[in-house]
């Protein structure tokens, strides 16, 4: 050893070479294990952030769908109010023609609004019902000749059973 020049590498024995290699393997393994653990923890953090982002995205999508539905419902409601407002005058006029016997205080705003909101078929039935109940003819003046108070029933025909029964049969569409 003393014969060798000063910059020459010294040869290792087999045991020394194995010990150096084993030491490097242990150090590298420890270093790589630490790096792998750091990366595993970073992956877990990123997955957690992704899960939070997915949840926030789902919440936002649900909020968007709710808002779009609310907007569509609002637009439909506004359109329905426009249609009702357009029908209001026409329907009031039609009912006033058929129900001339009714006083002006019967034609309330609430009642007219209800007529305007009715479906066309339902409104047609309603007008027909008013017409069937004597809407086009003014009522006769004065009380009826016989009343329930006098004990004599008012009978329009033997089969009908009385004025009220006749009215109810007309209302139900049954003709006498």
| pLDDT per residue rounded down to tens, the chain (176 residues) | 556 666 777 788 889 889 999 999 999 999 999 999 999 999 999 999 999 999 999 999 999 999 999 999 999 999 988 988 888 889 899 998 988 888 888 889 899 899 988 888 999 999 998 888 864 444 444 444 455 555 555 444 445 456 666 666 666 655 54
| Beta-carbon-side half-sphere exposure of residue 171 (alpha carbons within 13 Å) | 6
The pLDDT of residue 122: 92
The pLDDT of residue 76: 94
**In the numeric block, which tokens belong to residue 5?**
């020049």
Instruction: Please identify which residue in the block is written with the tokens 């949840």.
Output: 55
What pTM was computed for the model? 0.43
Distance CA 80, CA 84 (A): 6
The pLDDT of residue 121: 92
Distance CA 58, CA 107 (A): 52
DSSP character for 104?
A: G
Distance CA 97, CA 112 (A): 14
What is the Rg, in whole angstroms, of the alpha carbon atoms belonging to the chain?
Answer: 48
């Amino acid at each position: 050893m003393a014969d060798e020049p000063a910059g020459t590498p010294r040869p290792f024995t087999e045991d020394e070479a194995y010990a150096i290699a084993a030491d490097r393997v242990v150090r590298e393994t420890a270093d790589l294990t630490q790096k792998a653990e750091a990366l595993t923890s970073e992956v877990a953090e990123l997955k957690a952030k992704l899960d939070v982002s997915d949840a926030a995205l789902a919440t936002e999508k649900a909020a968007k769908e709710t808002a779009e539905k609310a907007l569509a419902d609002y637009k439909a409601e506004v359109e329905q109010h426009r249609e009702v407002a357009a029908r209001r005058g026409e329907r009031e006029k039609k009912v006033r023609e058929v129900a001339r016997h009714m006083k002006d205080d019967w034609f309330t705003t609430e009642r007219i609004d209800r007529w305007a909101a009715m479906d066309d078929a339902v409104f047609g039935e309603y007008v027909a019902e008013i017409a069937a109940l004597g809407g086009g003819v003014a009522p006769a003046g004065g009380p009826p000749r016989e009343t329930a108070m006098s004990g004599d029933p008012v009978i329009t025909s033997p089969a009908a059973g009385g004025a009220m029964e006749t009215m109810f049969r007309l209302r139900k569409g049954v003709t006498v």
